[in-house]
Chain A
Amino acid sequence: MQSVLLQHETNQSKLVILDSVGFCCIFLSSIFPTFLEKSCIPMSENEKAIIKPEAMKPFIWLQCADGSIQQVEEEVVMFCPMIYREILQTGMGSSQNSAICLPDRVNPAILSLIFEYCRFHQVLGRSNKFPGPYFITVERKSFDEKFIRMDTKKLCELTSAADSLQLKPLVDLTSRALARMIEGKTPEEIRETFHLPDDLTEEEKLEPLKNVNDDPRIRLLNRLYAKKRKELKERQKLKDIEAEEEKKDERSVDEILSFINGEEDSKGVNAIKSKKKNRKKRDSHKDICGQESIRLKNKKEANFSPSASQCSDARDNDDDTFPSNGEFEDGDIDDLDPAVKEELDREVEDFARRLNSDWPERMQEFLSLGQNQKLVPNRASSHGSLHETTGMDRR
């Protein structure tokens, strides 16, 4: 503390007094300029009378991002390595004017929480580490558990603030608490707890890491989604045939020619495309493939019907492999009890209804997605995305 004061002294020529009572004087003198002149000498004689033991406890001044200034006992503050280092290196914090600026992520409410934490552990341990006999560990643990009970908003803020102050034990504690909130819950529950936006499309959700979500529930959902997709595709086929007549024909000349030239060409292209898809299938994940073709399939554009029919061939191939993928999953379906099955049926119906109802919006989604897809390098089936984009360019 003394060294800090000396440094401060050189910066401000008016500093004469060398203890915490002096700080009060400087503080007051900045507000009331005449205070210092009036009370300087008498102060230095009276200071011993005025000083109480508690006042001798050194305080550190801290300033939050919003400008508010707090003062905290030095020993509590020293628990934070970042502030500690700052004090040592810059010598700031000894007065209100030179309050240490805290990172943006720390607001006053959270700061008081942090210091509550620091105060407890500092009193219990006098060090940043946690050794100590068993009963101290028990005390710490029970305090930690009570301390961590707060809503997710505060918890996230606390984690962020603790990280910016480099308070490793608190970061650890809060991360564990957050992890406990995530563990074992369904995605919907997690989204609700943390207010996460449900912004993944159904397709993206449907390509989980296969079988990692080893929940029989999720596997069954996947299976049923696949069935639904198939039904939708068939429905789409019918729709397309109707839609063709209604829509303006925007196909390029080549395409119309190829379409007119009929079976052989399209069959040839069919074969090539389905071969491509088969090869792709062997190399990449089957799910992605299935979804590419489904995306292609679901486009209403008339000029897509050649590729659509090609896709249907490919899709049939996919379907053949789907069962082989899922063959061992069928057995699991029977294992579920009727209540779960019922619930799942309801969910699937829901999903189907959603797919059918907001069709135009879905279309927009697919189209906009298509643009994005080709930028994602993890997508193994780059061919698939090329198909999409070239198809749309032709439009």
Chain B
Amino acid sequence: MSNMVNGDSTVDRISHLPRNIIEEILLHLPLKDAIRTSILSRDWRYAWSSIPHLAFSRQEFPLSKCSNSQVVFDRKLVDIIHQVLLFHQGPIHMFKLSIDLKSSKCIDGWLLFLSRNDIKEIVLHRWEGEVYKLPSCLSACKRLEHLCLFRCMFRPVHFQGFPHLRSLSLNNVAISQNELETLITNCPLLNILYLIDIFGLSGLKVCSPSLVVFSFFGQHIDFSFENVPLLSTLYVSFVGKNDKYYASPGVICKLFRNLYHLSSIKKIVLYNQAFKVWAYGQLPIQLPFTYQLKRFHACVNLKDIKEIQAIVFLCRSCPLLVTLELKAYIGNNLDDGTPAEKFLDAQQSFGSQFSHLRSVEITYVSCISELPFIKFVLANAPALETAYIGFNCGTPIELNILKEMFKFRRLSPAVEIKILNRSFF
């Protein structure tokens, strides 16, 4: 090749590095570049064939780059993946298929191949074409630890669960309630569960002794927890029409009914209408124990008496709360917030309950009648360090709102009020 003066520096050193290092180098390369090393030299010819991670992603194999039709692209891509799998030697631990592949018949074969090769992580994103029905050989992947599906259909029959599964993410997946519950219960090591827009669920009972993080995004369904002693993080978001929410009178609201089972909960994030739905109902007289909740985030209607009551009740049961984040939204009913204000003013001797609160963030405030809650927090939090107040920038910030706010009594001497300027859009 190039003639160097110093003979020592023309020695090929990289090809003689130990096997595991070459594998590591190839793992840091995108799959295409890794496979291209096969034409570098004799030593590199099959070096790539034992890398345990195969990831086919849209960035590397984009539909747009191929100037021909989808059919042709499909054919090429199937060919490539066939060849890669055929040439591959050794176990495959990670397989990611996130490409614009329309046909799905070949995927069955690939999954079968993977199930015989110690697969530990499968990521399957169907961007194009119809929803892909997962074959039964998926249940034969006994060593599976991570499963991430997008736009698939998972219908396990006589399924024993994955004994090593640690994280499960189902996005736009069709699965029935029974099957999902069985799946969750039969995975003894499951730590992380993300359910996003699942079709076919009418309710869900989550029962998993090892679950740590649970996230549910989608249409409202009535889900409940049973035996989740380790659950520490909860993300919930409900979207859609809100006419199915109303529980019969006298029933305790879902927020506290669920909270009852979440003894180790540390962080709760409720997006969109989740809090509204869950706060609907009766409040319990008192909760059996206090919680270790440290962080709470919700979209709350600050003028609605019910929601304010729920928040106050929650804060009272979670004395260790450190961060409180509320996004104000304007509800359908046009109450003026006076009942809420009266309620808050009536809350005496609350100081000891907010004792750990260090940061409060209330955003999208849009009118003066949403201020009583801010006033309440400022007046009752002795350890508060920062209070972020954000206004909905659709409306101009009115000077008198600010004036009012800065007049509020602050229990904590060091509190810093910061005004955020976040826009809705």
Contact = CB atoms under 8 A, between A and B. Distances in A.
Given A211-B80, A378-B87, A179 B29 contact: yes
A32 interface: no
Contacts of B8: 153
B10 interface: yes
Contacts of A171: 21, 24
Nearest to B31: A212
Given A160-B21, A195-B9, A332-B67, A212 B40 contact: no
Could you say which interface size class chain B belongs to? 35 or more
A332 to B, nearest CB: 6
Given A171-B21, A175-B21, A196-B44, A212 B83 contact: yes
Contact of B42 (A151, A199, A208, A285): A199
Nearest to B2: A192
Q: Say whether chain A's binding surface is mostly helix, strand, loop, or mixed.
A: helix
A208 B38 CA distance: 8
Given A176-B28, A200-B45, A335-B67, A160 B17 contact: yes
Nearest to B24: A175
Interface in A170-206: 171-172, 175-176, 178-180, 182-184, 187, 190-192, 194-200, 204-205
B73 to A, nearest CB: 9
Nearest to A164: B18
Contacts, number: 127
Contact of A197 (B36, B42, B46): B42
Contacts of A213: 32, 35-36, 39
Contact of B33 (A182, A198, A328, A335): A182
A151 to B, nearest CB: 7
A214 interface: yes
Contact of B68 (A179, A192, A331, A378): A331
B72 interface: yes
Contact of B17 (A159, A190, A191): A159
Contacts of A153: 8-9, 11, 13
A163 interface: yes
B15 interface: yes
Contacts of B332: none
A152 interface: yes
B25 A175 contact: yes
By CB atoms of chain A within 10 A, which of B26, B28, B36, B45 has the most?
B36
B336 interface: no
A205 B14 CA distance: 20
Contact of A211 (B13, B29, B79): B79
A313 interface: no
A156 interface: yes
A190 B36 CA distance: 11
B160 to A, nearest CB: 36
Interface of B: 1-2, 8-15, 17-18, 20-21, 24-30, 32-33, 35-46, 61, 65, 67-68, 72, 76, 79-80, 83-84, 87
Interface of A: 151-153, 156-157, 159-160, 163, 171-172, 175-176, 178-180, 182-184, 187, 190-192, 194-200, 204-205, 208-214, 285, 328, 331-332, 335, 378
20 contacts: A152-B13, A153-B11, A159-B17, A175-B28, A178-B14, A183-B30, A183-B33, A187-B36, A194-B13, A195-B1, A195-B9, A196-B41, A197-B12, A200-B45, A211-B80, A212-B80, A212-B83, A213-B35, A328-B72, A378-B46
